[in-house]
Structure formats: structure tokens, C-alpha cells
A and B are shown apart, each in its own frame.
Chain A
Amino acid sequence: MHPAPSYRRSLLWITLVAVCLTAAASLFVGPRAITAQVTMDALFRFDPANGAHLLVMQQRLPRVFLALIVGAALGAAGAVMQTLTRNPLADPGLLGISAGATLAIVILIAVTGRIDVNAALWAGVGGAALGGAAVFGIGGMAQGHDPVRLVLAGAALSIVMMTLTRVITVNADAHVFDQFRHWAVGSLQGRGWDVLNTSAGLALVGAIGALLLARPLDALALGRDLGQSLGTDPRRIWLVAAAVVVVLSGAATAAAGPISFIGIAAPHLARHICGPAHRPLILLSMLIGAALVSFADLAGRLIGGTTQIDVGIMTALIGGPIFVILARNLRMNTL
């Protein structure tokens, strides 16, 4: 059952407009009041000596782009992951990826004593890759591709890594914990252009990989045996798709900290609009993810006033109720 084409097209337009509106609005909103006129000047007649102009160009503009990239990466990762695990509730938090990035970054903070955003980015990507690889390894690449086992392995490894993280924060100096608690809520604050460039590159690689996988994923979604008889090699698709998921969600988590619900919510909303075929699904998931993160970041700045509410908290506060409503109306046979 698919909604009528006109309805779907209007939803698509609404999403596009929402992305543009929230992104544009983010430029004009912040703890420091800068008039719309000054913001426009900063964009089109940039004056390096003007503090307000610098703020717009060095802080707000990269932040807008980073929100879009993080959201798009999480949306695409969620879409691929839900097909891969055959689990409608799959999320980067589920497969040890967020926990791996978190553990790597807390080790980095504990060893070096401070958080350098760029080093944290690479540590986060490395930790996400290791965590994801361990989960996929234990979850059984060797034989069968049992989705339940994969999810269980993800839960078990996540708990072990989160435990190690907490043991480190409990034992380390106070300032290590102080740095960590600010990273752990998921924030887009104070990331500059260099972080943006690195994570944008990674996300781009991941997104291209995901789109190239769209056709094989369509076959895989039919089930392993049927997919195989259609001429795909499930194991190779699995390996490539797992790598794509790790790159995408690793880049997002490392840049912004753990952000929940985007990976679940974006593909669900996208499927509602465009149906289950993977190429439009992945593209639309990226679009919706970007809109959600960008909106959450904007809302956090509007509600929090001078002390902003971080984007990771806002996505959970907005996404949690949506998730509960989804769960309430879920028909049991769809699981």
C-alpha cells in the first residue's frame, strides 16, 4: 500500500523546503544577537576585521553545514543498517558503533588530558570502525547472516565498551570527566571548518558507497536465498554495506558525539514517502536526516537561550515521543 503520488510529491517538497528553511534560520540564530542585516553582510560583503562577521563565517556557517552532513550520514547509515539487520529498529547506537567511538574518545581525553576536536574526529572514526568490526565479527560473518545474533552481539559489545568508558571516567581526573560529559551529549558547538572538511569527505565516500549498493540491497531485502538466486553474493554485499555503515555513522558520531533516533526515524519517514526501493530511500533518508538534525540544533538554540541545549539531547527529546507514538500504532505483524 503506497500513498498517492501527489501526496508523496508534496511530502517531498515539504522536506526540501524544511531543510532549506532550518539551515537558513540557523545562520541568523545564536546566543549572541546579530541582526539579520549584519549576517547578510557577513555572507556577501565579508569584513575580516568585524567580530560579528567572523562569528558568522567561522562558527555559524560551518555549524549549519555540519548539522546537514551529520543528519544525512546518520539517515543513510540507518537506511542501510535496517535492511542489513532486517530490523526496523536498527540504529548506529545498536551495533557498537557509537559505543566504540565513545570509548576511543574517552581514552584519547584520558591520555592527552584535553580534547582536540580534530584528533577526536579521527579517534572517533577509528573507534567506530573497531567497534563495528568486532560486532560484525562476533555477530557472524562466517556463516549465516542471522540478524538477531548481530543485534545481540551489538548490545553485548556496547555494554562492555560503555562499562569501560564509565570505569575510565570514574577513575580519571575531574577535568577528563568534565571534557567527556560535554562531548557525550552530542553537540555541534565550536566545530570549525577543518572538522567540517574531514567529516564531509568521509560522509561523501560513505554516501556514494551506499547509493552504489542500492540495487544489491534491494535484492538482499528479499531474503538471503532469493537474493542469492538473483545473482548477488550476500557475503560481499554484507561486507561492503557494513563498511559503509561504519564510515557514515563513524564520521557523524566523531564529529558531533552520539546522536540518537535520527538513524531510526529518518528511514521510517522516508519509507512512508517513497516506498522500499533503496535508491530513493537512501537519498530521501539523507534529506530527512539533514532536516531533523538541523531542526533539532535550531530548536536547541532557540529554547536554551544563551546556554544552548545540545543537539544530541534535542534529538532524543523530539525523537523519543515520535518513537513512542510509532510503537503505539505499530501493527504487530509488521515486526
Chain B
Amino acid sequence: MNMPGYSTLRWRNCSFRIHMRTLWMNAVLSLFLLAGSAWALMSGSLPIAPDEIWQTLTATAPSRAIAHVLLDIRIPRLLVTLGAGAALGASGAVFQTISRNPLGSPDIIGFTAGAATGALVWIVALGGTGADVVPAAMCGALLAGAVVYLLARKDGRVSAYRLVLTGLGVGAILTAVNALLLVRGDLDVAISANLWLAGSVEGRGWAHVWPLWVGLCVLILPMLFGMRPLGLMAMGDDLAAPLGVAVEPVRRWMLLAALMLAALATSATGPIAFVALAAPQLARRIGVTASQPLIGAALVGAALMLGADLITRIAPFGIVMPIGQVTGLVGGIYLIWLLAKRRNRGT
């Protein structure tokens, strides 16, 4: 018997149930990712035709300029964009499930501020530049995460409320430290730090790509297994424990993994607003997540980042519009629109 909205795939004595809407939405999303990636590779101050991209990737490049632009600039940028989006989306899905709060995203719980502190200490106090920022920001985010986790722990348990509140407090302290570093620093250094704080994928090279993608691939597999017990815990710790869920270890390891994903993304691009918050929500709304919320959120996150990157390229009047600001602007307006729409329905 067919359930409505599903169709069944049968082959000999195997059968597989498919949710048609999920299938369609995933297909559309993948198509958008492919087309957007192609456009991102083709457009720019040096236009490159599709067949030239194909040649460069499979055989020899038509010219040295094309090889350089494609292999050293555009492909790393594209990979950083997609990887950061996927990491933020997956991380947001875990955080929202654990905190049981749609606002429980890594940027609110203080990890992004920690990453920024790490980067600012490196840029302002130690005079570092470029890709060296990555490990510094990573350390900052992980340290902030560890502090928040330890402070939120009481009697061996971490409650969702205490996690969010502690994160808010630690985040505020770190934001103050960041402001102090910005004011105390030399003006030129402070300007470059401010640019990093705006969140950008410009000028990212392979040094940014490798840690991000290796981390993403290593982390996402165990996280897929952890999502199931985590979903049970959404019913409450007391209900999940009798069902065989080791509540506290699951929460601890999933938090750590999600934290590392957020840290990887932030260290590669700088703080990106709203993707971690919006991706899991959007994924649920458009229905790409029927069975696997993590993958859906990661795909939607990557699509959001790619879309934001494409928008940065068409900003008018030669305005510098870093990608972190595009996501903030679009995400904020989207949230406002949601609120306004809900009011109309209410009256």
C-alpha cells in the first residue's frame, strides 16, 4: 500500500520508500548548487567559457592566465564558500536540536566571538596576516566552546537553557575584549581586522580549503549516527534514557563536533551571520530533511552561502559588500518578513 506523498521503488525482493517531495526538493537544490558553482567559476574580471573550464580540469589549460585564475583563485573560493556553508548548516542543525531553540545557533552561544577573539589576538597583538589566521581563530573558538561547556555544566549535566545563557555571557565578555583589541590596535591593523570581522571569501586559497574540507568529511560521518539519539533526546532526557540513549555522552560529543564544524567555517571565512540559524529552519520548511536533518541543513547552508557569494559580485556602485554582511542583511530581512507575515495571518 502506498502512503500519500510517497512512492515505492521495488527491485526483486528489495523495496525502498521514497518521499517524492524530498526527492524533488533535493534535485532542485542540487541543480541550483551545480548551476551556481558553474556561474561562480565562469564570471569575474576574466570571463572563462565552460569548455575552457572543462579543458583546464581534465587536460591542459588553454592559457596560463586561465589556469592561474581558475586553479588558484576561483576554485578555492568556491570550495571555501560551499564548505563553510555546509559546515555552518550542519552545526546549526545540531545546536538547534540540543538547545531546543531555533535561536540556539553558534553565533549566539559565543563561539563566533571566540573565533573572532583568536583572530584579533593574532592580527592585532601578534601582527599575523593571511592564512595564518586560520589556526588562531580555530583555537579561539574551541577555547570559548570549552569554557562555555564547562561553565554550563552543573552536577554533571548541561541543560539547554544554561548553555544558551552561559554562551550569551561569555560571548559578551569576548565581544568586549574584541572591542578593546580593535581600539588599542594600530589603525591600519584595526582596519584589516575589521575587514576580517565582516566575513569574506575573497582571496581564500588552498590553505583555507584543506582544513575546512578534511574536517568536514571526517566529522560529518559520526555526526550522522549521532543525529538519531539526539532526535530522541528532543523528547526530553527522561524519556530518551529508558530508550537506551546515553544522554550526556551523546550531547557532549555532538556538541564538540558541531563546535568544531562552526570553528572550521569561521576560521576560513570570518564570522558569517544567520546561515547556521536559517539553514536548518529552511531545510525543514522546504522539506529536504524528511529523514536526515543534518544533510539537508548542510545542503541548504551551502546553497545559501553560494547565493550570498553571487550577490556580493553584483553589489552596485562598487561597494565592498563582504559575504558575511550579505547573509546578515538577507537573513535579517527574511526574519522580519516572517514576523510580519505571521501577524497578518493572526488578524
A binding-site residues for B, Cβ under 8 Å: 89, 138-140, 142-144, 149, 152-153, 155-157, 159-160, 162-164, 166-167, 169-171, 174, 177-178, 181-182, 184-185, 260-261, 307, 309-310, 312-313, 316-317, 319-321, 323-324, 326-328, 330, 332, 335
Residue among A149, A152, A316 making CB contact with B175, cutoff 8 Å: A316
Query: Does the CB pair B328–A330 fall under 8 Å?
Result: no
Residues of A within 8 A of B325 (CB): 163, 166-167, 170
B binding-site residues for A, Cβ under 8 Å: 103, 151-152, 154, 159, 161-162, 165-166, 168-170, 172-173, 175-177, 179-180, 182-184, 187-188, 190-191, 194-195, 197-198, 273-274, 319-322, 325, 328-329, 331-333, 335-336, 339-340, 342-343, 346-347
Query: Does the CB pair B161–A160 fall under 8 Å?
Result: no
Residues of A within 8 A of B195 (CB): 170
Q: Return B342 CB to nearest CB of chain A, in Å.
A: 8
Q: Is the interface of A mostly helix, strand, loop or mixed?
A: helix
Report 11 cross-chain contacts, Cβ distance below 8 Å, ordered by A residue: A138-B339, A142-B347, A152-B335, A166-B198, A170-B325, A260-B176, A316-B172, A320-B169, A320-B173, A321-B169, A330-B161
Compute how far the CA of A199 lies from the CA of B243 in the bound complex, rounded to whole angstroms: 60
Residues of A within 8 A of B175 (CB): 316
Q: Return A292 CB to nearest CB of chain B, in Å.
A: 15
Residues of A within 8 A of B166 (CB): 324, 327-328
**Given known A170-B320, A171-B319, contact A163–B332 (CB-CB < 8 A):** yes
Residues of B within 8 A of A320 (CB): 169-170, 172-173, 176
Q: Return A75 CB to nearest CB of chain B, in Å.
A: 18
Query: Does the CB pair A182–B339 fall under 8 Å?
Result: no
Q: Indicate the member of A89, A171, A181, A182 with the most B CB atoms within 10 Å.
A: A181
Q: Return A165 CB to nearest CB of chain B, in Å.
A: 10
Query: Does the CB pair A156–B180 fall under 8 Å?
Result: no
Residue among B194, B328, B347 making CB contact with A143, cutoff 8 Å: B347
Query: Does the CB pair A156–B332 fall under 8 Å?
Result: yes
**Given known A185-B180, A319-B172, A327-B162, contact A138–B340 (CB-CB < 8 A):** yes
Compute how far the CA of A143 lies from the CA of B273 in the bound complex, rounded to whole angstroms: 30
Residues of A within 8 A of B190 (CB): 177-178, 181
Compute how far the CA of A138 lies from the CA of B343 in the bound complex, rounded to whole angstroms: 9
Q: Nearest B residue to A320 by beta-carbon distance?
A: B173
Query: Does the CB pair A335–B173 fall under 8 Å?
Result: no
Q: Nearest B residue to A160 by beta-carbon distance?
A: B332
Query: Does the CB pair B183–A182 fall under 8 Å?
Result: yes
Q: Return B32 CB to nearest CB of chain A, in Å.
A: 24
Residues of B within 8 A of A152 (CB): 103, 335, 339
Residues of B within 8 A of A328 (CB): 151-152, 154, 162, 166
Q: Nearest A residue to B175 by beta-carbon distance?
A: A316
Query: Does the CB pair B336–A156 fall under 8 Å?
Result: yes
Residue among A159, A166, A178, A321 making CB contact with B187, cutoff 8 Å: A178
Residues of B within 8 A of A156 (CB): 332, 335-336, 339
**Given known A160-B333, A181-B182, A321-B169, contact A153–B159 (CB-CB < 8 A):** no
Q: Return B120 CB to nearest CB of chain A, in Å.
A: 12
**Given known A160-B332, A323-B168, A330-B165, contact A153–B339 (CB-CB < 8 A):** yes
Query: Does the CB pair A316–B335 fall under 8 Å?
Result: no
Compute how far the CA of A182 lies from the CA of B185 in the bound complex, rounded to whole angstroms: 11
Query: Does the CB pair A174–B187 fall under 8 Å?
Result: yes
**Given known A160-B332, A177-B190, A324-B166, contact A185–B103 (CB-CB < 8 A):** no
Residue among B182, B184, B328 making CB contact with A160, cutoff 8 Å: B328
Query: Does the CB pair B161–A335 fall under 8 Å?
Result: yes
Compute how far the CA of A135 lies from the CA of B165 in the bound complex, rounded to whole angstroms: 23
Residues of A within 8 A of B322 (CB): 167, 170
